[in-house]
Structures are given as C-alpha cells and as structure tokens.
Structure 1
Amino acid sequence: MALTRDFKETVLARIQADPRYGDALLNEGIECMLAGDVDTGKAILRDYIKATLGFAKLGAETGASPKSLMRMFSAGGNPQARNLFAVIGHLQTQSGVTLHVTAHRNARKRQSHTLP
C-alpha cells in the first residue's frame, strides 16, 4: 500500500520538529533489517532519507546516483551490502547518531526427548 502525501508530510514535519524522532526512525529502519524484515527497513529508511537530506544530496555526498539510491530503497530494490552499508554509515555521520549491534541469545525452550 502506498503512503499518502499527508503521511509523508507528517513524517517530515515530525522529524523537523523533533530530531529524536528522526534518530528513532533511523534506528528502527536498521533494526528491522537486522531482524530480517528488509522490506520494512528499506521503507522506513526511504522515509527517513526523504525527510532529512533527500536522495539528491545523499547521492552527491556518497557518489551514488540519486536514481540508483531511490531504486535501492524501493519496494523491489535489492541493495548490495556494500552500497547499503555505505549509505547507513553516511546517515549515521550526517545525523550524529552512532548505532551499535548487541548480541542477545534468545531463550528457547529446550525440548527433551526420551528414548523408548
């Protein structure tokens, strides 16, 4: 489902009014990707990029084509890890936010099997 223009303008206004919201959006987009929900992560990062520096400026600052970046974060886009990490690194620098990955072991119930 496509987002309405009103929603996109709301995200832009919220980020401009509260930079911490933008930081949270950046964090959430990357967390979604790390959790395996790449499509949601790309959508969140796409909105974040549009609301902050924009694809034209991001392209100029990273040396990538703005159209290529837009495709990369589109619903059908399949970014290469090198390009994705370059963009994420730049977004961290641009925003002043440093993200860290922390490993957590999921507590899974161990199934006990008894031999007959």
Structure 2
Amino acid sequence: MTLTRNFKDTVIARIGQDTEFRDALLREGIECFLSGDVDTGKAVLRDYINATIGFERLGEVTNTPPKSLMRMFSQKGNPQARNLFAVISQLQTQSGIHLEVRAV
C-alpha cells in the first residue's frame, strides 16, 4: 500500500491544527525521558520543536546554537541535563502549559 503523505508531515500538520494533540505530544516526549526511553523522547521532542517553535527560535531563547540543539535531539545525540531542562522550560513557556512530576 502506498502512502500519499509522509508520516512526519501528517504529524506536523496535526500539531498546527490540534492544540490538544500538540500538548499531548509534548507531555509524551517528556514522559518518555522520565521512563528511561531517551531515544523516543528525543524523537518526539524533535518533531514537536520542528512543528512549533523551530530550532532557530529555540536556539535564541535558550542561548544555544540551533545546530547544537539539532544534534542533541538526533538519534546519536546525548543532551546534558542542563540543556535538556532549559529546552523543556522554553517549550512549556512557548506552549503555555506547565508540567509537573508527581509520585504515583
């Protein structure tokens, strides 16, 4: 079966149209990190960043070169906690949501 549209393009389009989906994607990316699935967390946040704030703007607000941010969220990237939390903080600010970690 041939797909008529690239999956990432579909996700990016939906992020632009559906705020609940966009917010859920941000939460899911962070939950992946918290559960130890770093590779999936990086992939989800990379798609989220591309579809929302973009790496150029994110680099400006975090005072980090955009190419460094792109490397951090690549398959082989290994973001330091300081950089990761700076990015998460800005993504929360940009999206207007506040995430909390709670013991269950």
Question: Scaled by the length of structure 1, what TM-score is found?
Answer: 0.83
The count of residues paired between Structure 1 and Structure 2 equals 100
Q: For each residue in 1:9-62, what CA deviation from the matched residue of structure 2 results, as whole angstroms up to 9, or x when unmatched? A: 111110111011110000000000000001100100000000001101111121
Higher relative CO (Cα under 8 Å, sequence separation at least 6) belongs to 2
Q: Flag structure 1 segments of 5+ consecutive residues without an equivalent.
A: 105-116
Map of 1:20-39 to 2, 5 A cutoff? 20-39=20-39
The one-letter amino acid of 2:75's match is A
- 1:107: which partner in 2? none
* Percent identity of equivalent pairs: 69
Deviates more, 1:53-62 or 1:88-97: 53-62
Q: Which structure has the bigger radius of gyration? A: 1
- 1:101: which partner in 2? 101
Map of 1:32-111 to 2, 5 A cutoff? 32-104=32-104
What is the CA–CA distance in structure 1 between the aligned matches of 2:96 and 2:9, rounded to whole Å?
A: 23
What is the CA–CA distance in structure 2 between the aligned matches of 1:31 and 1:97, rounded to whole Å?
A: 15
Task: Give the aligned CA root-mean-square deviation in angstroms.
Answer: 1.0
